[in-house]
Structure 1
Amino acid sequence: MLSLKNNKSTYIFFALILVMAFVLRIVGLSQRPMHGDEAINAFKLAELIETGIFKYDPQEYHGPVLYFFSLPLTYILQIKTLQNLNEFVLRLLPLLFGMGLFGILFFIRKSISNKWLIYSSIFLVLSPAFVFYSRYFIHEMLFVFFTYAVIITVYNLLKKPTYFSSSLFGVSLGLWMATKETWIIVFAAMLFSTAVLSLNKLFRHRIFENLKKLKKEFCLVAILLYVFTITATFSSFFQHMQGVKDFFTSFAFYFNKASTTQQHIYPVYEYLSWLLNPFGKGLIGESIILVLAIAGGILLFQDKTRSLFISFIALFSVSTFAFYSVIPYKTPWNILTAWFGFIIMAGYGFTTISELIIDNKKRYFFYVLSLAFALHLFYYSYLINHLDFDSPNNPYTFSQPQLAVLEIETQFESMAANLENRYDHYIEVISPANDYWPLPWYLRNFKRIAWRDKVDFLSESADIAIINIDLESDYIKKLYEYPPPGKRDLFIPLFSNEISIRPGLKMNAYIKKSLWDSMQQEPIRDINGKIN
C-alpha cells in the first residue's frame, strides 16, 4: 500500500503524518471549557510563575514536571500572572508532548520496519484518546512520554553503555517519577514483563552480557543525575527541601487513596468499555487498534527473529493494561501508557497481515476495509474532540464542565465592564465540599471572592453570589430572615435559569438589585470596557 523502500520516502510520509497530527490537535484547542483538574493545575502553575517556588503536596495534584516544563512557554509569551494565562497557552505543552510520542516512534524505527513506523504513526494520529488528552492540561501526556523515554534509554544504556546514554537514563528516570505517582504501577508492570521475558534463555543471556559491559562509572552517573533531577524538581531547585521528603511520603498517601476512595470506582472491564464502546451505544470506538494489536502480538511471538526490545514493549503494554484494570479506582487517561504500546503493536499487526496476504484481490479488500476503519477513527476523533467535547456521554470527558459555564464568565466580565469598580465587588461562591471548580479559573480576574462550602449566616451578604442549588434555600434565609427589618437588601437572579456547571453540579447566581440598577445607568460596554 505504501512504497517505503528507502528512508527518503519514509521521512516524507512521516513528515506529512506529523503535519496532520499537529493540525488535528491544535485546531480548536481553546474551545472545550476548562476541566476542574486543568483549572487547579493552572493555579499551581500561576503560583510557580508569581512566587518562583513550587510546593509539592503529596496528597494531591501530582508532581512538579508539568509546571516546570510550562515555564519556558510562559516566559516566551511574557506571562507573569494568573490573569495572563489562557486555555491555549496551557494546553500547548501537553500538545507538544503528544507530538513528542511520534519522536518516540521515530527513535525506535531501527527496531521496527519503515512500514511499521508509518502505520503505528497513523494509528497514533487518529486515536481519539490521544488526540483528546494531547489537548488537556494534565500530567498524562508527559507521563506517557517519559515512561517510554525510560524504556528506550535503559535499553540504549544496556546495548551501548556510554556517559551520554547513562546521563539520558538518569534524567529520564527522574523526570518520569517527578511527573506522576502512578509510576509505581507502571514500574511494577516493567518488572513483571522483565521477569516473564527472563524465562527466555536468549533474553537472560543478553541481559547478563550487557550488564557485564556496564561499567560502575556509568551506573554512578545515572544514579547521580537521577538523584539530582528528583531533588531539584521536588525542592523547586533547592528552595523548598520539604518537597523531597514529601516525595517519599507520597507513596503511602497514593496507595491509601487508591484503596479507600469511593470516587471513580469502576469494574475491571471499564477501560475496555471507554475505548471500545463509547457513548454506550455499541459503537466500535478504537476497536480496530485493539484487534490489530492482539494480532500483532500473536504474530510477534510466533516470529523467532523478533526483537526482544519490541517483545518487552508488547508484554509491558498488556501488563500495564491489566494492572490498571484490576485497581477499582479508574480514570480514562490512566490507560494511555498501555494504549501507546497497543498502538505500536497495531502497526506491527497491520504491516504483517498485509505482507502475509498474497492474493491481490484479498489484499485490496484488506486495504479498503482498513481505509474504512481509518475513516471511522478520524470521524470518531472529530466527534470526540470537536462536536461532543463537553458531552457527559463522551467517554473521555470525565466530569467535564459544559459550555454553560462560559455563560458565567461572559456575564461576569460584562458586568465588570459596566460597573464603576469593575473587579473589586464582593462575591460569594458557595458549594458543598468546595465543589465549585473550574469557577475559580473563570472568575480569576475578580479580587474579592469568598469561596465557601456552606452558607455563613454571620458574614455580610456579598454583592453577587453564586450558589449551589442544594444550598439555595439556606442562602435565601440568610438574605431575608437573618437581617433585621430595614437592613435587608433585595437580590435578583442573574440568570433566567440555573447554570449546569457540569453533570451533577448546578448553580444559581444572585446580584443586589441596587448594584444591578446602577449598572443599567452606565453606558453599555463590552467585556473590554469599550462603549458600544
Structure 2
Amino acid sequence: MNGRAWLVAGVLGATALSLAFRLPRLNDRPMHTDEAVQAVIAADLWQTGRYRYDRTEYHGPTLPYLTRIALGLSGASGFGDTTEAMYRIVPALAGAAMVLLVLLLADGLGRAATVWAAVLLAVSAGMSYYSRYFIHETLLVFFTLGAMGAGWRWLRDGGTGWAALTGTCVGLMAATKETWVIATACMALAIVADAGLRRLYSLPSPERVLGGVSWRNVGISAGCAVLVAALLFTGLLSNLRGVLDAVLAWQPYLSRSGGDPRHIHPWDFYLRLLAWHRYGRGPVFTEAFIIALAGVGAAVSLARGRQMPLGRLLTCYTVLLTAAYAAIPYKTPWCMLGFLQGMILLAGIGAAAIIQAIPAAAGKWAAGALLAAGTMHLAWVGHNACFTYAASRLNPYVYAHAATDILQLDNRLRQLAAVSPDGTNTLVHVFSDDPWPLPWYLRRLNKVGYWRDADLAAAKEDAPVVIVSPQLDRAVMSVRQELYVQEYYWLRPEVPLLVYVRRDLWSAMLASRRTAATMPAGHKQTPSSGR
C-alpha cells in the first residue's frame, strides 16, 4: 500500500472512529435550552416551509434548513413524533464529516500529520461532545474548515472550482452564526502576519505567491459567498429583509458580548477548561495532550517556516482566534471549538514531527506508543464526556444544562396523558418566566398554555395539570391547591418547578399502574386514544 492509500485509509478509519463517538445514544441526554429552542424553529420550518431570520436571537438559517432535510427523511409525521436524535444527527454527521475535510490540507500538513489530526479530531472531548448538541457551533467550525481547505487548494492549485467552493463555505459560515466574522477576520489577519514572517524567512512576497489567483476568481468566490448567504437569510427569497437583518445583526451581539453576567468569565476560561478540570471527586477532564502537541506543532511550523507555509498560517490563525475569544468577556464553552480545531491541526503537525525527529526505529516506535497512549487517554475523556457523564455537573462541557429530572417529568406527562380521557388533548397550564426546555417535553400535547405571570384571566378554566415556578406558586395555586397533588422537579440547576396534577387524574394514573402490575406477562394495556 503506497503513502496516498495509507493516508486515505487512516482518515477513513478516523472518520469511522468519530462516528462511534457522535452517533450512539443521541436520545439519552436531556435537551439543553438552546437545543429545545432550535428544535422548535427547525420543526416550524419543516412543517410550514417558512423561515424568518431574527437578528436579535437564535443565530442563522443553516441549522434549521439542514434539519428540515433530516426531519423529512425521518418518517415523523409531526413535531410530536420527532425525537432528540432526529435533530442531533445533523451536527453529529457534520462533526464526523469534518474529519474527512482534513484531506484537503494533506499536502500542507504532511500525510502523517493529517492522519494524526484526523484521529485527534475524532476523539477530542470538546469536538465530539458538542457534535452531539443541536446548536450551530459544530456547523460553523465544519464550514470554517471547509473554507480553509478549499482556500488552501485554491491557493495551491488555482482554478475556478476551488474559488467557488471557498466562497460557498464562507457564505455558509455567515449563514450559520454571527461569530463567523471573528473567524474570517482572524484568517485575514493571519495572512497579514504571514506576510511579515515571509520577510523574516526571506521568502517570496505575498504578491508573487498570489500571482496565480486571478481577480476573476476572487469575484466568483465573493459572489458565491454573497449568493449563498442571501438565499438562506431571505428564507429562499421569501423575506428579502433578511439580508438587511443579517448586516445589522452585529449590533445586538456586540452589546451582548459584555452583557449577561451568567456568561461573563475571565480571559483564561477556555484554556483552563481544556487544560484541566476536576469537580470534587469526579474524573479528570483534560485535553492538555492536544495543547502540548499544538505547541510543538506551532514551534516546528515557525522553525521550519520556509518548508511549512500552511503550518505558519495555522499558527497565526490559531493564536489570533484564541486571543480574540479570550478577550471577549461573554464566554460559553462551545465557542472554543474554532480555536480548538486549529490546535488539533497543529497537534497533528506536532505528533508527526516528534516521531520524525527521532532517528532510531526503536525510538520512533516508542514515541509512537506514547503518542498512542495519549490519544487513548483523550478517547477515554471523550467517552466520559459523551456518555458516562453526558449530563453531569462533573463534566465541564455541561453548561447551563437541563437537569435529568426533566426526563422524569417527561415520563410523568406521558403517564398522565395515557390515562386521561382527553389523551394528548389534556389541558396543561405553564406559569414561568423562562420555561425552556419544557416546551420540547410538552410537544406531544396539543393544548398547552404558557404565561409569564400569574394573570389567571388568560387561564379561563382549571387545567388537569399545572406547572408553575416557585415564584408564582402562591398567586397561581393558593385558592385551588387542595384539588391537586403536588410534585417537585428540577428544570435546570437551581431552577425548580412545581407540578400540580388534579386528584382525579392522579388517582386514575395510580389505578392504571396497579392494574399494570397485576396483569399477566405479555398483556398490553391499551392507553386512552384522546378522542
TM-score (structure 1 length as normaliser): 0.91
Alignment partner, residue 72 of structure 1: 69
1:49-448 correspondence runs (5 A): 49-199=46-196, 200-201=198-199, 205=204, 207-280=206-279, 283=284, 285-359=286-360, 362-431=363-432, 434-448=433-447
Q: Percent identity at matched positions?
A: 24
1:482-497 correspondence runs (5 A): 490-493=483-486, 495=487
Shift of 1:387: 1.1
Aligned match for 1:34, one of 31, 53, 57: 31
Alignment partner, residue 448 of structure 2: 449
Alignment partner, residue 521 of structure 2: none
* Greater CA drift, 180-189 or 280-289: 280-289
Residues of 2 paired with 1:503 and 1:315: CA distance? 39
Shift of 1:528: 7.6
Alignment partner, residue 527 of structure 2: 529
Deviation sequence 1:408-437 (CA, Å, 0-9, x none) = 111111111111111222211222xx3221
* Greater CA drift, 16-25 or 368-377: 368-377
Residues of 1 paired with 2:254 and 2:301: CA distance? 35
Aligned match for 1:502, one of 492, 506, 510: 492
1:460-499 correspondence runs (5 A): 460=460, 461-479=462-480, 490-493=483-486, 495=487, 498-499=488-489
Residues of 2 paired with 1:412 and 1:247: CA distance? 40
Residues of 2 paired with 1:29 and 1:372: CA distance? 28
Q: AA paired with 1:278?
A: H
* Greater CA drift, 20-29 or 514-523: 514-523
- Consecutive unaligned residues of structure 1, counting only runs of 5 or more, are 481-488
Contact 1:117 1:347 in 2 (8 A): yes
* Greater CA drift, 200-209 or 80-89: 200-209
Shift of 1:241: 1.3
Query: Any idea what SS the aligned residue of 1:260 has?
Result: coil
Residues of 2 paired with 1:316 and 1:173: CA distance? 16
Shift of 1:155: 3.1
Shift of 1:207: 3.0
Contact 1:30 1:88 in 2 (8 A): yes
Shift of 1:442: 0.7
Change (3 A) 1:7 1:57: same
Deviation sequence 1:242-262 (CA, Å, 0-9, x none) = 211111111111101113332
TM-score (structure 2 length as normaliser): 0.91
Deviation sequence 1:214-254 (CA, Å, 0-9, x none) = 33432332233222212110111111112111111111111
Query: Any idea what SS the aligned residue of 2:263 has?
Result: coil
Contact 1:467 1:509 in 2 (8 A): yes
Contact 2:14 2:99 in 1 (8 A): no
Contact 1:190 1:316 in 2 (8 A): yes
Change (3 A) 1:528 1:356: farther
Contact 1:189 1:319 in 2 (8 A): yes
Residues of 2 paired with 1:87 and 1:95: CA distance? 12
Shift of 1:184: 1.6
Query: Any idea what SS the aligned residue of 2:430 has?
Result: strand
- Consecutive unaligned residues of structure 2, counting only runs of 5 or more, are 517-523
Shift of 1:186: 1.6
Change (3 A) 1:79 1:224: farther
Residues of 1 paired with 2:190 and 2:222: CA distance? 23
Aligned match for 1:516, one of 493, 503, 506: 506
Query: Any idea what SS the aligned residue of 2:425 has?
Result: coil
The root-mean-square deviation of aligned C-alpha atoms, in Å, is 2.4
Q: AA paired with 1:75?
A: G
